[in-house]
Structure 1
Amino acid sequence: MEKAKINIRQLFVMIVLFELGSSLLIPPGAMAGRDAWLAILLGCAAGLIPYYIYQGLYQYYPENSPKGYLNDLLGKKLSWIISFIYILYFAYIAARVLRDFGEMLLTFAYEDTPIIVVNALLVIVCLYAVKKGIEVLARASELLFGAVLLLGVTGLILIIASGSIDIHYLKPVLADGIAPVFRAVFSQTMYVPFGELVLFVVIFPSLNDRKGVKKAGMLAIGLSGILIALSSAVNISVLDVDIMVRSQFPLLSTIRTIKVAEFLDRLDVFFMLGLIIGGFVKVSLFLYAVVIGASTLFKVKNPSQIAMPIGCVVLVLSITIATNISEHLNEGLNVVPLYIHLPFQVLFPLLLFLLAVMKNRKKKKNKPAEKNRQ
């Protein structure tokens, strides 16, 4: 593992930007209709459980990399296979997020540009940050965090000032009952974006203080959940639920409705900067996890040596995972959560956590027995 260190504040900032990432661009929970904001809040609450598991594993093995405690819990052979599968998972999700932002740039700014060119430019920037290491990425996140919050507050003020919000579009709440909301929670919002924090098991060993991990993470999840739910509620109250569901990128469609004093309009390009920042942090962290994981697994002394080949693989994968944006969005919202996210984010980490709990209890029981023998 890289011997860099980050602090709890930087962890908090990275989690918030990571969570906002593609979730502002493509809000989860659309299947709940006008109650999507509620599905996001409930998904946020449910997402606290997986995070408790991730940081719990770290607390049991604070000095070890994920590969280290996998060796302890599963044995070397099985842990190698599981680690390799997780590397593939992180690379796949990195490609999906990269495709999200590539499609956004094509739709709103570079209509005649091949998607491979746009995605390649994004990957180059992310690879530069990855090669500089987690400390540089954490500091960059701190600097960019303020810019994202400023853009968000400015956007909300301008939307309110333009008179686009109609609160009646949010009513009636739970018109179809609670079932669609729970369906959205357990098939979408619990996993994207909150369950994706499984990535941070790779980041935790770089912390200089493990005591505040649980508190900082849960506060970050709560803040990001509120911000994503607020964004979803604003989208619905401006566009109405039918238009929001049909829109590929609802937030940018909402921003386009801003018109203040007959001259302040067409601000979607300006607010794309905030979205790109979130995408940069999210893709960079996934690439970092792949690079560190692969270097640990294959015993590469200098992880930066394999950053470029891995970036090229993710770039090619981002182009080939879907033939068009409709197929990409359908796969990401309806297939990936249950068949890929559920086992990687919930089931397998839960199994590891239970094994760690049992092993730790066994160690505690054996210690008094050893003392008595002495």
Structure 2
Amino acid sequence: MITKHQLFSMMILFEIGSTTLFVLGIGAKQDAWIVILLATLAGLLLLCIYFLLQKRHPGKGIGEMLLDICGPIIGFPLVVLYAGYFTYCTSINLRDFCELVSITQLEYTPLPVIMVIIILPIFYLLYCGVSSLAKLSEILFTIFIISVATIYILVIVSGIFHPGFLLPVLSNGFFSLFNMDLVKTIEFPYGEIVAFLALWKFTESPSQYRRSSVKAILCTGAFLVITDIFILCTLGADYAAISTIPLFKVIRLINIKNIITNLNAVGVVLIFIGGFFKICIFFFAAVLTLEPILKISRKIIILIVGAVVCTNTLSIPGFLQHVWASNYVRTPYVHGLFQIAIPPVLLLASLAKSPEKKKREQHSTDVFPS
């Protein structure tokens, strides 16, 4: 079972994940942090939809929900599609972090070697089960928070933090924030919480997972706002928009009296912790989604999904092509479909199905009285 503290740690590390590779909402320039605030509110609304789905199907993961709501004819293809979506998300996140390690630390190491180094501990952790992943999250969460706080302090002490870069605020008006960047920020990272529909069934009680999830969303929003402000106040909006890994650029600028400098390794570890959990949870979600239809050992499913992930990871183009595809293909079509479009329809179908079920039960009671 997953405790409320473990769920809180898992969700924050998952949500932050690969957001550290980008400046969210940068299309709004110096108002990017306001876009994140709006996206956080929208993320809470999405979370309510996921909560209602889980409440109507307690103790079940997304695979069982789809089969219950849609029946085998429609439910089976949807289970396969959702498992494929989670598998693909695992692949693109794995590719992101293979590229990160290649760019920053292991420039001359072949990408497949880096991928194997990253994926092997993930395989082992998933073989151990979700409880092991949850316990690890508590340990790494503490390291993550201390590292982030240290970097923020060092940026300020270095004298490279310039609050004036945030001005003017709302120079193009408030309604200019409601653009494609807001949609992308809702889907990434808040919409990705859909993966936890596969994991909430392992929590101790419904009230605990709801409270922990809401707290995690709010804390994630606060972290992303603060991180965006630090990046914008250090690099400026124009330079941040064209930087490959903006947070890494900020960390490289830290220099205190030529004593505290060259913190690249700290930056890689910090970014990697979030990415590691994003890969693990998407991977686990894909495996758990397939379980109701494959009816075979979870370890065999892990090997099957792992083989697909490794194949997909190597077939994904380079980092810049991946960013382009994320902006113009995955965000408007793929993520929006699985995160925002399908869950409300499933909820409505579940609500519509309940009265029919009650009528059938009442009819069977009338025909066959006890």
Which TM-score bucket, shorter chain as reference? over 0.9
Residue 153 (structure 1) aligned with residue 149 (structure 2): yes
2:312 corresponds to which of 310, 317, 324: 317
C-alpha deviation, 1:295, in angstroms: 3.0
Question: What runs of 5+ residues in structure 1 fail to find an aligned partner?
Answer: none
Residue 329 (structure 1) aligned with residue 323 (structure 2): yes
C-alpha deviation, 1:367, in angstroms: 7.6
- Aligned partners of 2:92 and 2:313 also within 8 Å: yes
**Match in the other structure for 2:132:** 136
Write the distance in 2 (CA, Å) between the matches of 1:186 and 1:241.
17
1:339 partner amino acid: Y
1:305 corresponds to which of 293, 300, 303: 300
**Match in the other structure for 1:102:** 98
- Aligned partners of 2:63 and 2:291 also within 8 Å: no
Residue 90 (structure 1) aligned with residue 86 (structure 2): yes
C-alpha deviation, 1:42, in angstroms: 1.0
**Match in the other structure for 2:352:** 358
Write the distance in 1 (CA, Å) between the matches of 2:238 and 2:181.
20
**Match in the other structure for 1:246:** 242
- Aligned partners of 1:258 and 1:264 also within 8 Å: yes
Q: How does 1:32-181 map to 2 (within 5 A)?
A: 32-181=28-177
Quote the RMSD (CA, aligned, Å): 1.9
Write the distance in 1 (CA, Å) between the matches of 2:282 and 2:354.
30
2:206 partner amino acid: R
1:133 partner amino acid: G
2:106 partner amino acid: Y
Write the distance in 2 (CA, Å) between the matches of 1:329 and 1:256.
22
SS at match of 1:6: coil
Write the distance in 1 (CA, Å) between the matches of 2:30 and 2:359.
53
1:327 partner amino acid: Q
C-alpha deviation, 1:202, in angstroms: 0.4
TM (norm. structure 2) is: 0.94
Write the distance in 2 (CA, Å) between the matches of 1:166 and 1:364.
62
Residue 226 (structure 1) aligned with residue 230 (structure 2): no
Write the distance in 2 (CA, Å) between the matches of 1:348 and 1:242.
36
C-alpha deviation, 1:185, in angstroms: 4.8
- Aligned partners of 1:127 and 1:287 also within 8 Å: no
- Aligned partners of 1:16 and 1:223 also within 8 Å: yes
Between stretches 221-230 and 204-213, larger displacement belongs to 204-213
2:24 partner amino acid: P
- Aligned partners of 2:26 and 2:181 also within 8 Å: no
C-alpha deviation, 1:305, in angstroms: 2.2
How many residue pairs get aligned? The number is: 368
Residue 202 (structure 1) aligned with residue 198 (structure 2): yes
Question: Percent identity, aligned pairs only?
Answer: 29
Write the distance in 2 (CA, Å) between the matches of 1:214 and 1:260.
43
Write the distance in 2 (CA, Å) between the matches of 1:282 and 1:156.
23
**Match in the other structure for 1:339:** 333
- Aligned partners of 1:40 and 1:185 also within 8 Å: no
Between stretches 331-340 and 223-232, larger displacement belongs to 331-340
C-alpha deviation, 1:362, in angstroms: 5.1
2:105 partner amino acid: A
Write the distance in 1 (CA, Å) between the matches of 2:33 and 2:146.
22
Write the distance in 1 (CA, Å) between the matches of 2:284 and 2:265.
28
C-alpha deviation, 1:232, in angstroms: 1.0
Write the distance in 1 (CA, Å) between the matches of 2:93 and 2:176.
26
1:224 partner amino acid: T
Write the distance in 2 (CA, Å) between the matches of 1:357 and 1:190.
25
- Aligned partners of 1:92 and 1:317 also within 8 Å: yes
SS at match of 1:263: coil
Kindly tell me: are residues 244 and 129 of structure 1, through their superposed partners in 2, closer, same or farther at Cα, counting changes over 3 Å? same
- Aligned partners of 1:32 and 1:184 also within 8 Å: no
C-alpha deviation, 1:199, in angstroms: 0.3
- Aligned partners of 1:52 and 1:214 also within 8 Å: no
Question: What runs of 5+ residues in structure 2 fail to find an aligned partner?
Answer: none
Deviations 1:186-229 (A, max 9, x none): 43100000000100000011112112222211110010011012
Deviations 1:256-290 (A, max 9, x none): 11011221111121121121111111101111111
Write the distance in 2 (CA, Å) between the matches of 1:172 and 1:319.
43
Write the distance in 2 (CA, Å) between the matches of 1:228 and 1:88.
28
Between stretches 353-362 and 190-199, larger displacement belongs to 353-362
Residue 290 (structure 1) aligned with residue 294 (structure 2): no
